[in-house]
Structure 1
Amino acid sequence: MNAKRRLLIVEDNKRLAENLFEYLGEDKYELDYAADGLTALHLLASHTYDVIILDIMLPGVNGLTICRRIREDLNSSVPVLMLTARDSIEDKTQAFDNGADDYLIKPFHMKELELRIQALCRRRQTNNDCITANNIRYYPGTLTVKRQDQSELQLIGYAATIFEALIRKYPDYVTYQHLSTDIWGHPDGDINVIRTHIYVLRKTLKNTYGQDMIKTLHGRGYCLDPA
């Protein structure tokens, strides 16, 4: 029998936390809980998790700071799913810039949350094969991009999922539905969220390699443009 996935739920709303434990607990997942940022950081320093469900507005240390410290201080690529009532594109961009993998707006359906958790878990089941496109090499096992003799770039979160989809399809384009399926496990995901992920990935690649490497095909999707 496969071991249950271990999740950390960081949420200061006690009623919501209880609902999450009721829905995700029992035979589905092994769950840990933190009601504030400091407790969450303590647990993260001493335990390993498959997915972190993280509220943004927390007492002590907020969720954005926790997410950034997971990436920078702990050097961890564990998937982080943000829960928040903030729904502006600026808020989403800030979350992804701090290392979030996914962003779910309150209120939400528990089934959608579970589907997103499953998609995040699948993303971690990668191998170490090298995928090439022109002068670009990508290693799914380490989420690392290499370009000739330039700097290596390690991707995190859905940026890695999207880049892998783009490089596997190169020189063809990837549809919105394809990306949605890779990210959430179904083809009907929020196009605006996909666009936000693309924006963050595009900016990361440009900051590292000095050029825009993703081409938008309006109404169809995106393709990698490494030349």
Structure 2
Amino acid sequence: MLGKKIVVAEDNSVFLMVIKLKLEQEGYELFLAEDGKKAIELIEKHSPDLILTDIMMDYVNGLEIISHVRNKLKKQTPIVVFSASGQEEIVLKAFEIGANDFLSKPLSVNELLVRVKKLSR
């Protein structure tokens, strides 16, 4: 089984706290980033077992995070992206460059948990 370190990149602080509470209850260790730049720093520092990222964020977006992990760091860490509905083109691009899963916003935290458990087996 993979470890339980997760980097979460999400610019909505309320949503970030909801994810944090739910996943910490399940025993995951979370590293939170409110933008993509911070997310990349956390990924490089902690080598997480899973990455959860919003696509639309300031400074560095979710696609850039995926690209950084796959191309610069050469890691196969599972990556789940979130995006508001109606952004199909961006979501397809995310899969093309290496995302493993996708959830549309607004998210169901329970659905997120199921997917996290599946990817961290």
TM-score by length of 1: 0.50
Structure 2 partner of 1:59: 58
| CA contact 2:6–2:51 (8 Å) conserved in 1 | yes
Change (3 A) 1:76 1:3: closer
Structure 2 partner of 1:185: none
Question: Structure 2: 5+ residue runs without aligned partners?
Answer: none
Further displaced range: 86-95 or 5-14: 86-95
What value does the CA root-mean-square deviation take over the aligned residues? 1.7
Change (3 A) 1:3 1:85: closer
State the secondary structure of the residue aligned to 1:28: coil
State the secondary structure of the residue aligned to 1:25: helix
Structure 2 partner of 1:71: 70
Runs of at least 4 residues off by over 3 Å: 86-89
Question: Structure 1: 5+ residue runs without aligned partners?
Answer: 123-227
Structure 1 partner of 2:11: 12
Greater helix content: 2
Distance apart, 1:25 and its partner CA: 1.1
Q: How does 1:57-206 map to 2 (within 5 A)?
A: 57-122=56-121
| Paired letter, 1:107 | P
In structure 1, how many angstroms separate the alpha carbons of the residues matched to 2:56 and 2:48?
21
State the secondary structure of the residue aligned to 2:120: helix
| Paired letter, 2:37 | L
Larger radius of gyration: 1
In structure 2, how many angstroms separate the alpha carbons of the residues matched to 1:3 and 1:87?
33
In structure 2, how many angstroms separate the alpha carbons of the residues matched to 1:74 and 1:4?
19
Total equivalences in the alignment:
121
In structure 1, how many angstroms separate the alpha carbons of the residues matched to 2:25 and 2:2?
13
| CA contact 2:2–2:120 (8 Å) conserved in 1 | no
In structure 1, how many angstroms separate the alpha carbons of the residues matched to 2:89 and 2:17?
30
Q: How does 1:30-41 map to 2 (within 5 A)?
A: 30-41=29-40
Distance apart, 1:45 and its partner CA: 1.3
In structure 2, how many angstroms separate the alpha carbons of the residues matched to 1:48 and 1:21?
18
